[in-house]
Chain A
Amino acid sequence: MKVIQYTPVNNPDADIENIVNDKFVKQKPLSPFHETSVNFLSALSKEILEYPGVKVFPELVALAFWLRRANLSSIISPFNNKIDDSEVVVPRGVAFHIAPSNVDSIFLYSWALSLLVGNLNVVRVSQTLNEQLEILLSILRELLHQKEWTEIKDRNIIFTYPRDEKINIYLSNRADVRILWGGDETIKSIRVLPSKPATKDILFADKFSYTAVDASMYSSLPDEKKIQLARNFYNDAYWFDQMACSSPRFVLFVGSEKECEASSKAYWKFLEDELMQKGKPDTLDIAMEKLVYMYESISRTELPTLPAELNSNKPTVLRVAKNEITKFRETCGGGFFFECFLNNLDELTGMVSRKDQTLGYYGFSKDELKQFASKVNGAGIDRIVPIGQALNFAPTWDGYSLLNELSKRVSVL
Chain B
Amino acid sequence: MSAIEELFSLPQYSIHNDKKRALLLEELKQLTQFHYLNSIPYKNIIDNLGIRDKNKFGSIEELPYIPVRLFKTQNIKSVPDSEVIKTLTSSGTTNQQVSRIALNKETSMLQVKALASIITSYIGQQRLPMIIIDTDATIKNKSSLSARGAGLVGLSNFGRDHFFALDENMELKVDQLLAYLEKHKNEQLLLFGFTFMVWQYLYQTMKKTDTKIDLSNATLIHSGGWKKLIEQSVSNEVFKSELYKLFGMKKIYNFYGMVEQVGSIYMECEEGHLHTPNFAEIIIRDYNDWSVLPAGKKGVVQTISVLPKSYPGHSLLTEDMGTIIGIDNCPCGRKGTYFSVNGRVPKAELRGCSDTHAETVQSNGRAN
Q: Would A101 and B44 count as touching, CB distance under 8 A? A: no
- Using an 8 Å CB-CB cutoff, how does the interface string of A274-299 with B read, 1 for contact, 0 for none? 00000001101111110110011011
Report which of A103, A183, A292, A332 forms a contact with B357, defined as CB distance below 8 A: A183
A181 to B66, CA, bound (A): 36
Q: Would A305 and B48 count as touching, CB distance under 8 A? A: yes
Report which of A292, A295, A310 forms a contact with B289, defined as CB distance below 8 A: A310
Check: A302 CB closer than 8 A to any chain B CB.
Answer: yes
Q: Would B70 and A185 count as touching, CB distance under 8 A? A: no
A310 to B353, CA, bound (A): 26
Residues on B with C-beta less than 8 A from A204 are 353
Check: A98 CB closer than 8 A to any chain B CB.
Answer: yes
Q: Would A186 and B288 count as touching, CB distance under 8 A? A: no
The prevalent SS among residues of A at the interface is loop
Using known A-B contacts A127-B363, A307-B50, determine if residue A295 contacts B356 with beta carbons closer than 8 Å: no
List the one stretch of A147-155, A193-201, A237-245 in contact with chain B.
A237-245
Report which of B42, B317, B356 forms a contact with A181, defined as CB distance below 8 A: B356
A286 to B345, CA, bound (A): 10
Closest to B300 in A: A288
Q: Would B359 and A127 count as touching, CB distance under 8 A? A: yes
Q: Would A163 and B360 count as touching, CB distance under 8 A? A: yes
CB < 8 Å A-B pair total: 142
Report which of B288, B350, B356 forms a contact with A243, defined as CB distance below 8 A: B350
Q: Would B350 and A286 count as touching, CB distance under 8 A? A: yes
Contact count band on B = 35 or more
Check: A352 CB closer than 8 A to any chain B CB.
Answer: no
Q: Would B352 and A285 count as touching, CB distance under 8 A? A: no
Q: Shortest Cβ distance from A230 into chain B, in angstroms?
A: 21
- Using an 8 Å CB-CB cutoff, how does the interface string of B27-45 with A read, 1 for contact, 0 for none? 0000000000000111011
Q: Would A243 and B48 count as touching, CB distance under 8 A? A: no
Q: Would B348 and A286 count as touching, CB distance under 8 A? A: yes
Q: Would B66 and A101 count as touching, CB distance under 8 A? A: no
- Using an 8 Å CB-CB cutoff, how does the interface string of B343-368 with A read, 1 for contact, 0 for none? 00111111111111111100100000
Q: Shortest Cβ distance from A98 into chain B, in angstroms?
A: 6
A207 to B317, CA, bound (A): 32
Closest to A314 in B: B289
Residues on B with C-beta less than 8 A from A300 are 41, 44
Check: B250 CB closer than 8 A to any chain A CB.
Answer: no
Q: Would B358 and A183 count as touching, CB distance under 8 A? A: yes
Check: B49 CB closer than 8 A to any chain A CB.
Answer: yes
A100 to B353, CA, bound (A): 5
A181 to B353, CA, bound (A): 7
Q: Would A183 and B70 count as touching, CB distance under 8 A? A: no
Residue among B45, B48, B73, B290 with most chain A CB within 10 A: B48
Q: Shortest Cβ distance from B66 into chain A, in angstroms?
A: 6
Check: B169 CB closer than 8 A to any chain A CB.
Answer: no
Q: Would B353 and A304 count as touching, CB distance under 8 A? A: no
Check: B69 CB closer than 8 A to any chain A CB.
Answer: yes
Q: Would A103 and B353 count as touching, CB distance under 8 A? A: yes
- Using an 8 Å CB-CB cutoff, how does the interface string of A102-133 with B read, 1 for contact, 0 for none? 11001000000000000000000011100000
Report which of B48, B317, B352 forms a contact with A307, defined as CB distance below 8 A: B48
Report which of A243, A295, A313 forms a contact with B352, defined as CB distance below 8 A: A243
Within B312-346, which residues are at the interface with A (CB < 8 Å)?
317, 319, 345-346
Check: A334 CB closer than 8 A to any chain B CB.
Answer: yes
Check: B296 CB closer than 8 A to any chain A CB.
Answer: no
Q: Would A301 and B44 count as touching, CB distance under 8 A? A: yes
Q: Would B70 and A295 count as touching, CB distance under 8 A? A: yes
Check: A99 CB closer than 8 A to any chain B CB.
Answer: yes
Closest to B41 in A: A299
Q: Would B352 and A291 count as touching, CB distance under 8 A? A: no
A186 to B49, CA, bound (A): 38
Within B12-69, which residues are at the interface with A (CB < 8 Å)?
40-42, 44-45, 47-50, 66-67, 69
Report which of B49, B74, B317, B363 forms a contact with A298, defined as CB distance below 8 A: B49
Check: A315 CB closer than 8 A to any chain B CB.
Answer: no
Q: Would A291 and B44 count as touching, CB distance under 8 A? A: no
A333 to B70, CA, bound (A): 18
Q: Would A334 and B290 count as touching, CB distance under 8 A? A: no
Residue among B76, B319, B353 with most chain A CB within 10 A: B353
Q: Shortest Cβ distance from B90 into chain A, in angstroms?
A: 15
Check: A220 CB closer than 8 A to any chain B CB.
Answer: no
Q: Shortest Cβ distance from A290 into chain B, in angstroms?
A: 9
Q: Would B353 and A313 count as touching, CB distance under 8 A? A: no
Check: A184 CB closer than 8 A to any chain B CB.
Answer: yes
Residues on A with C-beta less than 8 A from B76 are 299
Q: Would A185 and B357 count as touching, CB distance under 8 A? A: yes
Closest to A302 in B: B44
A298 to B346, CA, bound (A): 24
Q: Would B354 and A292 count as touching, CB distance under 8 A? A: no
Q: Shortest Cβ distance from A107 into chain B, in angstroms?
A: 9
A259 to B115, CA, bound (A): 57
Q: Would A100 and B356 count as touching, CB distance under 8 A? A: yes
Q: Would A284 and B357 count as touching, CB distance under 8 A? A: no
Closest to B288 in A: A312
Q: Would A284 and B351 count as touching, CB distance under 8 A? A: no
Residues on B with C-beta less than 8 A from A162 are 359-360, 363
Q: Would A102 and B351 count as touching, CB distance under 8 A? A: yes
Q: Would A288 and B348 count as touching, CB distance under 8 A? A: yes
A284 to B76, CA, bound (A): 26
A185 to B358, CA, bound (A): 9
Known: A299-B41, A299-B70, A304-B48. 18 other contacts (CB 8 A): A100-B355, A101-B356, A102-B351, A103-B353, A106-B353, A162-B360, A163-B360, A186-B357, A241-B352, A242-B350, A243-B353, A245-B353, A284-B345, A284-B346, A288-B319, A289-B350, A299-B74, A302-B47
A-B contact pairs, 19 of them (CB 8 A): A100-B353, A100-B356, A101-B358, A101-B359, A102-B353, A162-B360, A183-B356, A206-B353, A241-B352, A243-B353, A284-B300, A284-B345, A286-B348, A289-B348, A289-B350, A296-B74, A299-B45, A302-B47, A312-B288
Pick the 10 closest A-B CB pairs, nearest first.
A243-B352, A298-B48, A100-B353, A299-B41, A285-B348, A183-B354, A102-B351, A186-B357, A333-B350, A287-B287
